[in-house]
Amino acid sequence: MHNSRNRLLNQIRAIEFTTLELNLFLNSHPGDQQALRDYNNGVRQLKALKNEYERQYGPLINFGFGYSRSPWQWINEPWPWERESNRGCN
Amino acid sequence: MWLYEKKLQYPVNIKKPNYKLAAAILNQFGGPDGELAASLRYLSQRPSMPIPEAKAMLNDIGTEELAHFEMIQAMVHQLMKDAPIEEIAADGATAVYYTDHGRASWISTGTGVPFTGAYIQSKGDPIADIYEDMAAEQKARATYEYLINLADDPDVIDPLRWLREREVVHFQRFGEIMNKLYEWKDSKKIF
């Protein structure tokens, strides 16, 4: 189970890294049209991947940003600092 | 408002425990050039910034640093978790840290010097603050290079190298903000 979960987390990580980088770049280059197109394109991909993750494993983000099935999935292990959450990712 | 995303920004999967190396890496958790200092420095400085680009940059890099703080904690945790007690006892400095904190990550240096706000500054002068931030990124880059020199485990070196590269990118972004602050300062002189 962890393998497919970690694979999906890694896809999210990769896209989110590009949107984070573009976000920082756009902070100092707010008029850059190419960066903005890439950013918005990344947002679209990220939303789809995060929806897929949450459908299978519950909320990725706390405080109302993802649906949970019963019982409350947010407390599910592993947590990010634990090896099990990162196995097979690099 | 902050939200928590339940994943590391970059994966940490360390198979071989090493308490002594964990203690060295702890410096990037709660040491003078560490990730907590970086995050709190940038987030504290935000309100003094006169231009929108600078406010956003300090906000967002300050937030990313918390994700790095978490990666460092993961490294320290995984390196300490199953370290044999004989190995901890054999080294005087690590034995002292163990006596006070066991296998926990405390916001301190690896020798137990506690984190302090004296590591960071909010001067209220945007140019002075961004120069401090650029220096902080360089000091953190140098620290990661020293840690890479100390480490011999590829599972440890890989995330350290990744974190080092983030310091380089942040330095670049702060440099762009510095140019914009000088433009802002010059534009204020025209009435």
Give the SS3 label for residue B69: helix
A44 domain-assigned: yes
Is residue A90 a part of any domain in this protein? no
Q: Tell if the CB–CB gap between B6 and A12 is shorter than 8 Å.
A: no
- Res A90: pLDDT: 64
Instruction: Pick B53's closest partner by Cβ from A16, A30, A65.
Output: A30
Q: Is the pLDDT of residue B190 over 90?
A: no
Contact check, Cβ <8 Å, B11/A86: yes
Between chains, do A21 and B169 touch, taking CB under 8 Å as contact?
A: yes
Rounded to a whole number of angstroms, the distance from the CA of B22 to the nearest CA of chain A is 14
Residue A87 maps to a domain: no
CB contact under 8 A, B6 and A24: no
Helix, strand or coil, per DSSP, at residue A76: coil
Say yes or no for a CB contact (<8 Å) between A85 and B7: yes
Q: Rounded to an integer, what distance in angstroms lies between the CA atom of residue B77 and that of residue B18?
A: 10
Q: ipTM of the assembly?
A: 0.96
Nearest chain A residue (CA) to B11 = A86
All residue ranges of chain A with pLDDT < 70 are: 1, 90
Confidence of residue B46 (pLDDT cuts 50, 70, 90): very high
Q: Confirm whether A86 is domain-assigned.
A: no
A-interface mutation test, from B6, B61, B69, B137, most A Cβ less than 10 A away: B6
Quote the DSSP letter at residue B36: H
Domains and CATH numbers, chain B: 19-102+124-188 (1.20.1260.10)
> Is residue B71 pLDDT above 80, yes or no?
yes
Token representation of residue B3 = 């939200």
Nearest to B78 among A20, A25, A83 (CB): A83
- Average pLDDT on B9-14 reads 98
Within a domain: A71: yes
When pLDDT is cut at 50, 70 and 90, the band that residue B121 belongs to is: very high
Residue B105 has pLDDT above 90, yes or no: yes
Q: What is the mean pLDDT of chain B?
A: 97
- Structural domain that includes position A31: 2-80
Q: Residues B151-166: what's their mean pLDDT?
A: 98
Share of chain B above pLDDT 70, in %: 99
Contact A78, A72 (CB under 8 A): no
Q: Would you call A67 an interface residue with chain B, using a CB distance cutoff of 8 Å? A: no
Residue bearing tokens 């573009």: A22
Structure-token pair, residue A51:
């929806």
Name the residue with higher pLDDT: B124 or A3: B124
Note the pLDDT of residue B191.
58
Q: Is the dihedral of CA A58, A60, A66, A71 positive or negative?
A: positive
In angstroms, the separation between the Cα of residue A42 and the nearest Cα of chain B is: 16
Instruction: Give me the mean pLDDT over the B72-84 stretch.
Output: 98
pLDDT of residue B88 exceeding 90: yes
CA distance B44 to B124: 10
Q: If we measure between CA atoms, which residue out of B51, B184, B79, B62 comes closest to residue B122?
A: B62
pLDDT in tens, B20-32: 999 999 999 999 9
A28–chain B Cβ distance below 8 A for any pair: yes
- Token pair of B172, please? 């670049």
CA torsion, ordered B128, B72, A18, A76, to nearest 10 deg: -130
Q: Is the pLDDT of residue B2 over 60?
A: yes
- Claim: this prediction has a pTM higher than 0.90: yes
How many domains in chain A? 1
What pLDDT does residue B188 have?
Answer: 86
B102: alpha, beta or left? (left if phi > 0; alpha if psi -120 to 50): left
